[in-house]
Amino acid sequence: MSQTTVPTGSALAVKEESVALFAVTQRAPTLMRNLTGPAPSQADAETKIQGQTSPDMPIVRVTNLAKSQGDEVTIDLFNVTGGFPIMGDQNAEGKGQPLTTSSQTAKIDQYTYVVDAGGKMAQQRTRWSLRGVARANQRGYWKRLETQLCYTHLAGARGSQAGIDWAVPKQFTSGTTVNPDFAPIVVNSVLAPTYNRHYVANAAGLTQGGLQLGAISSTDVMKLEHLDELRAIIEDAEVQINPVKIEDDPAAEDEPMWLFLCTRRAWKQVESNTSGLVWRTFLQNAWNRASHGSKHPLFKGEAGMWNNILVKPVSRAIRFLPGENAKVILVANRYTATESDQTVNAGLGAGKAVDRCLLLGAQALANVYGRNQGSDYYFAWHEREYNFGNNLEVAGRMMGGKTKVRFSIPDGLGNNEPTDFGVFAVDVAVSL
């Protein structure tokens, strides 16, 4: 009996591959997947209506455009009220503190990626199913694109690291010359870190603001002392970054936790600047947290923990070379979030660079999806024969967009300061 096959362009193939493309980006063990919370329970009615995942994780997936028209979703924040209590028999009527809110929008657009599966003679010359190879390439590509888009938006920069596996182009072709391909692919503006969420390593301490990039030296590498200072900054902040709460972590309420993503180069610097006993304690702390019972992938593989900050190395880097420009917000522009170009210290030295690490809390990034026209899926699959049926192209499509969550929040001094809600950028020197 011959094996049942799904022919090119069949409705079943379209459905299966459309679902598979979404599943591979959302459920595969990628950076984006590990930072996205589970879908809400039925009891979470208001969140359920909005189609959002758990607000306790760094990436919140929003799908309330999946069954409606439109290319934009609004994200709202109600600020914490201030003021003092009204005492004794004083009249309290009409003296209520006003509710203030901040809003931002996230746009979506259509992404399409096409793989040419070749012609009948190309298929004749190989024992491999070129259609199957094209399908596998599609799935791998969308995983990389989704992860890199999230990472670029969170970091507020694309950096200069290159390679064939990068699906997001560089932001600048050279100097401050804008790459015309960048803005359409990232859809929403990549926002430089706000002044109050940007720190640069300076010996064993951290200097606020990106201006310090102009003076960063080769000795300003990542150290555990920086994690101690970050924890103090979190505790002292007027508007604190919310901790990450993993669903099956029993210590989530009693021991608040934040996530620190560092590059491989920065991870190596921490290891080389830490004594053997302290390094073992750093690794053991992460194992101890996982031993409470959590099976979340963030605790798997290489991980360390210091001062309740879980540290994970990532494979790709948002990297700036000496003499390159980075977008920063200077202290004079902290209330307008106007971006400036800051040149990374050209005297950093040969074989040196600056890597951007990220401290993440909850609700750092909004990952928005919309419905593909003519499809019930966030991703769509198309196959097309051309050249009189001799050649085959396969295409994947996604309707979506990402944006770093940023609100204007009262700073306690009478000003509303644009603030990256769930992420700190920490720039450190590395050796290449």
pLDDT at 50: 47
Give the torsion through C-alpha atoms of 32, 36, 38, 42, to 10 deg: -130
Closest by alpha carbon to 160, among 140, 179, 141? Answer: 179
| Same-domain pairing of 115 and 211 | no
Domain shared by 251 and 262, yes or no:
yes
Same domain, 353 and 301: yes
Q: Are residues 214 and 339 in the same domain?
A: yes
Q: How far is CA 201 from the centre of its chain?
A: 21
Per-residue model confidence (pLDDT) at position 228: 96
d(CA 153, CA 156): 5
Q: Position of tokens 């990068």?
A: 166
> Is 91 inside a domain boundary?
no
Report pLDDT for 47: 41
Residues 312 and 397 both lie in one domain? no
Give the closest residue to 55 by CA, choosing from 26, 74, 35, 73.
35
| Residue span of the structural domain in which 132 resides | 1-76+100-192+370-404
Q: Are residues 130 and 198 located together in one domain of the fold?
A: no
Predicted confidence at residue 6, as pLDDT, reads 43
- Going by C-alpha positions, the residue among 395, 401, 380 that lies closest to residue 70 is 401
Question: Domain for residue 273, yes or no?
Answer: yes
DSSP 286-332: HHHHHTTS---GGGSSS-EEETTEEEEEESS--EE-TT-EEEE--GG
Helix (H) or strand (E) holding 24: helix 11-26
pTM equals 0.83
Cβ atoms within 10 Å of 333's Cβ, excluding its own: 15
Number of folded domains in the chain? 2
Residue 93 lies in a domain: no
* Co-location of 384 and 413 in the same domain: no
Domain co-membership, 226 together with 354: yes
pLDDT for position 381: 74
pLDDT by position in tens, the chain (length 432) = 333 344 545 554 455 555 555 555 555 545 566 666 554 443 343 343 345 555 666 777 776 554 455 577 776 655 555 667 877 778 877 777 665 556 677 888 888 888 877 656 555 555 446 567 777 778 788 888 988 999 999 999 999 998 888 999 999 888 778 899 999 999 999 999 999 999 999 988 999 999 999 999 999 999 999 999 999 999 988 777 888 888 777 777 888 899 999 999 999 999 998 988 999 999 999 998 888 767 777 888 889 999 999 999 998 899 999 999 999 999 999 999 999 999 999 999 899 999 999 999 988 888 888 776 655 567 777 777 777 777 778 788 888 889 998 988 877 777 889 999 899 999 999 999
Angstrom distance (rounded) from CA 192 to CA 420? 9
Return the pLDDT at 21. 55
Residue 89 belongs to some domain of the structure: no
Q: Which stretch of DSSP H or E encloses residue 226?
A: helix 224-236
Whether 342 is in a domain gets the answer yes
Close Cβ partners of 132 (under 8 Å, ≥ 6 residues apart) = none
